[in-house]
Chains A and B, each alone.
Chain A
Amino acid sequence: MKILVAVKRAIDYNVKARPKSDGSGVELANVKMSMNPFDEIAVEEAIRIQEAGIAAEIVAVSVGPKQCQETLRTAMAMGADRGILVETDEEVQPLAVAKILKALVEKEAPGIILLGKQAIDDDSNQTGQMLAALLKWGQATFACGVEFAGEELKVNREVDGGTQSISVKLPAIITVDLRLNEPRYVKLPNIMKAKKKQLDIFSPAELEVDITPRLKLIKAEEPPVRVGGVTVADVDELVDKLRNEAKVI
């Protein structure tokens, strides 16, 4: 079985994003970019499934500008066997990403597709579910545990009140949540090896996918700034303030 794993180049986890001064978008010039943290967990899970002897090949896919090649090299240094970049400098929204991935699924015929549950830039949490819809496959979202049982997957999911387990028929989509695993550190020799792995590049047009955005950004602005308050000397003062000033207890 082949696994397709989707990886997004996103703002680094530790960077605080700011809007451009004219409000026309997000300031990303000279900002550190990394693989979306949830996608790292997806890559790690793919590798563990391969290490368990269930999958033969892992193909990492990214959609975006040329620099996404670095993201794919990271996935390959972790252990993905090859990479595919669908290169475009245009904005690609989740529905368009799902359509691109569907076109690649038709070429590659994977048994499982792993994705992060959301990207930490647009916080959409859509692509995996949309891809499952377009492929008419089952979807196991927010996964915190994955087990194979014949032609089915048993997946534990993070839900609002705790966890839920479902069974999904293969082929299936899995979107991963943070407790699923801890991604491995990339070792230097593997970074060297990854440079030699196959990386194919397509354009959205070659895949016959229309990526025209459906949502237009009208304005990007900072939320109202919360101003820090006062420092209290001890718990007695704190309790007094909460009771008599804020009146919340």
Chain B
Amino acid sequence: MAVLVLAEHDNDSLNPATLTAISAATQLSNTIEVLVAGSDCAGAAAATAAVTGVSKVIVADAAHYGNALAENVAPLVVELSSSYSHVLAASTTDGKNIMPRVAALLDVAQISDIVAVDSESIFKRPIYAGNIIATVESSDRIKVITVRTTAFDPVSSEGGSAAIENIDAGADMGLSRYLAQDLTKSDRPELAAADIIVSGGRGVGSSENFAIIEELADKLGAAVGASRAAVDAGYVPNDYQVGQTGKVVAPGLYIAIGISGAIQHLAGMKDSKVIVAINKDEEAPIFGVADYGLVGDLFKEVPNMVAALDK
């Protein structure tokens, strides 16, 4: 049976997170259809049609789909779902917002944040901040799934030539309205997509001091992250947060600076390929997961590292 993937997009282009959801879908079926619900979303639809492995792109274009409001998108997914064995989306904030609404409307469970597909009804997912991997079996007729983006290699965004089918839009449910968004402006790579991440914790001490972290990040062409403690203390915005309740990342290199390594933070970064920890407390748990640990004062060591990178 075919599998449906809900695309995340900004109407013009496809969010790379969707490429990992499609990757998970390829383990479930050879027929993968992708729903692009948006407003003036021909650009996103064309980008989706070019993705390797996509059989068909289904487009619902209407003003009330423009901002991915769950109240409007979920009924559309439900309407389509009877032809599919599985409905998947990336576990982004949009995916997390929309998919449980889809599942409840279908009277099925959602399998959140899968990290492996064992069979068409058995999946692995992390629970308890990733300290336990649960293997779960779904008995529901349609499996509604969100996909942890770091656990699947994205499919190529090129090479495909799927047909695009336009469908009629459903109703505007009129329950919610999009007002505005305030996205963090940055020339740095996005956390979710970065090869290198430099993260700061409470040890950084203040919002101003975060400039030290940013300087190292810029030297390495890295994204900037933070622990929950640093977010709670108001040093940086919440979208920098790496951890159980923030973003889950798995870059090639993760540099944790002034981060003690609470369970909740480790949950968000311990799948990184190489982990570096810089902390003045040699007992800090972060050293237990770090490939390279440097015990020292971050205010001295980080500028030294920036200088050393120039050598």
Contact = CB atoms under 8 A, between A and B. Distances in A.
B274 A228 contact: no
A158 B126 contact: no
A217 to B, nearest CB: 6
B305 A238 contact: yes
Contact of A177 (B92, B220, B238, B253): B238
A214 interface: yes
Contact of B289 (A217, A226, A236): A226
Given A133-B101, A139-B70, A228-B288, A17 B128 contact: yes
A52 interface: no
11 contacts: A17-B131, A18-B132, A125-B100, A126-B100, A128-B100, A130-B103, A178-B245, A215-B111, A216-B136, A228-B288, A231-B295
B192 interface: yes
B127 interface: yes
Contact of B182 (A128, A163, A178, A230): A163
B266 to A, nearest CB: 9
A157 to B, nearest CB: 8
Closest 4 CB pairs of A and B: A138-B175, A129-B100, A17-B128, A130-B104
Nearest to A102: B104
Contacts of A117: 245
Contacts of A130: 100-101, 103-104, 110
A242 B274 contact: yes
Interface string B127-147: 111111111111110000000
A234 interface: yes
A223 B70 contact: no
B2 interface: no
Contacts of B108: 95, 214
Contacts, number: 267
A223 B294 contact: no
Contacts of B301: 235
Given A95-B104, A169-B175, A216-B137, A222 B292 contact: no
A168 B176 contact: yes
A138 B122 CA distance: 32
B202 interface: no
A14 B264 CA distance: 9
Q: Assign chain B's interface to a size class.
A: 35 or more
Given A17-B131, A139-B97, 5 more contacts: A17-B132, A134-B104, A161-B239, A242-B274, A248-B196
Q: Chain B binding site: helix, strand, loop or mixed by DSSP? A: mixed
Nearest to A124: B112
A209 to B, nearest CB: 12
Q: Assign chain A's interface to a size class.
A: 35 or more
A219 interface: yes
B9 interface: no
Nearest to A131: B104
B131 A222 contact: yes
B113 to A, nearest CB: 7
Interface in B275-304: 275-276, 287-296, 301, 304
A127 B311 CA distance: 53
Interface stretch (A77-85, A140-148, A187-195): A140-148
A226 B104 contact: no
A179 B238 contact: yes
A238 B298 CA distance: 14
Given A165-B181, A242-B274, A138 B132 contact: no
A54 B198 CA distance: 43
B43 interface: no
Nearest to A139: B70
Nearest to A154: B179
Nearest to A10: B128
Nearest to A165: B179
Given A11-B128, A130-B104, A231-B295, A160 B134 contact: no
Interface string A98-128: 1000000000000000000110111111111
A100 B62 CA distance: 35
B110 A126 contact: yes
Interface in B175-208: 175-184, 190, 192, 196
Given A26-B132, A223-B131, A138 B100 contact: no
